[in-house]
């Protein structure tokens, strides 16, 4: 402990004997206007009322969103539960199959397009357009109550994507094979 701390500890009783006089407290009390106290209390109550109002408003906003969300997603639940219709089961099964096949072909194609990444970029851009169209078809599916033609159109869009990938993949394999054959013939000469 430093010298100041020790001094304060030793002389603590002499510091504690000084208290303000009662007249000073009366002057302080008179200096505080009762109207000011009331206005401060009113201001505090207004702040609390405003805070409560904001709380009630935001709570009702979130409650409304929570209650309204299932109604918005009700259509997607219909699409996700294939037990409602055999056609929806067929769609879910077809989507799973074609999505797996498309992913497999894309992964295979990426091996061939490392030297030309613009090919994959173009394909991905085209496929994003297909996906947008597919979303519109799914919206139509909900509106048409699982119409067979709409389901067939959705599956056809997957088939087209797969066919495009297969064609590009076959061209890339063919060009790579012809490059290998050219290099082999060049070595033989």
pLDDT in tens, 1-27: 688 888 888 888 777 766 777 788 777
Range of the domain at 37: 24-71
**130 and 40, same structural domain?**
no
Q: Which of 34-38, 49-53, 171-175 has the lowest mean pLDDT?
A: 34-38
In a domain, 18, yes or no: no
**What per-residue confidence (pLDDT) applies to 140?**
83
Question: Residue 138 to residues 48, 71, 84, 101, 152: CA-CA distances in angstroms?
Answer: 49, 17, 16, 20, 11
Look at the block and give the residue holding tokens 């030793």. 10
Average pLDDT over residues 144-152: 83
- Rounded to the nearest integer, the mean pLDDT of the chain is 77
Contact of 157 with 134, CB cutoff 8 Å: yes
In a domain, 35, yes or no: yes
- Report the residue count for the chain: 189
**95 and 57, same structural domain?**
no
Q: What percent of the chain has pLDDT over 90?
A: 1
In a domain, 14, yes or no: no
Contact of 98 with 155, CB cutoff 8 Å: yes
Q: 44 is written with which tokens?
A: 């505090």
Query: Rounded CA gap, 104 and 98, in Å?
Result: 10
Q: 176 is written with which tokens?
A: 């790579």
Does the pLDDT of residue 76 top 70, yes or no? no
Query: Rounded CA gap, 35 and 41, in Å?
Result: 10
Using a 10 angstrom Cβ sphere, with 0-12 exposed, 13-18 middle and 19 or more buried, the burial of residue 1 is: exposed
Query: Rounded CA gap, 59 and 25, in Å?
Result: 46
Q: What percent of the chain has pLDDT over 70?
A: 77
In a domain, 94, yes or no: yes
In a domain, 5, yes or no: no
**105 and 33, same structural domain?**
no
Average pLDDT over residues 81-94: 74
**What per-residue confidence (pLDDT) applies to 78?**
45
**147 and 97, same structural domain?**
yes
* 76 vs 111: which has the higher pLDDT: 111
Domain count, the chain: 2
What is the value of pTM for the model shown? 0.48
Average pLDDT over residues 114-129: 83
* 139 vs 77: which has the higher pLDDT: 139
Q: Could you tell me which of 78, 79, 100, 95 has the C-alpha nearest to residue 154?
A: 95
Does the pLDDT of residue 70 top 70, yes or no? no
Give the end of a domain, one of 11, 46, 71: 71
């Amino acid at each position: 402990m430093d010298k100041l701390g020790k001094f304060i500890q030793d002389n603590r009783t002499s510091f504690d004997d000084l208290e303000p006089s009662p007249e000073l407290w009366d002057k302080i009390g008179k200096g505080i206007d009762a109207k000011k106290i009331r206005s401060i209390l009113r201001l505090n109550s207004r702040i609390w009322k405003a805070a409560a109002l904001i709380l009630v408003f935001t709570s009702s906003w979130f409650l409304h969103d929570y209650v309204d969300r299932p109604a918005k997603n009700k259509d997607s639940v219909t699409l996700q539960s294939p037990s409602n219709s055999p056609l929806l089961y067929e769609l879910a099964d077809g989507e799973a199959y074609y999505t797996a096949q498309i992913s497999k072909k894309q992964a295979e194609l990426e091996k061939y397009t490392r030297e030309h990444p613009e090919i994959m970029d173009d394909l991905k851009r085209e496929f994003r357009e297909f996906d947008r169209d597919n979303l519109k078809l799914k919206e139509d599916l909900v509106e048409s109550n699982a119409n067979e033609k709409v389901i067939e159109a959705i599956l056809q869009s997957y088939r087209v994507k797969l066919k495009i990938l297969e064609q590009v993949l076959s061209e890339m394999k063919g060009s790579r094979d012809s490059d290998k054959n050219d290099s082999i013939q060049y070595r033989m000469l």
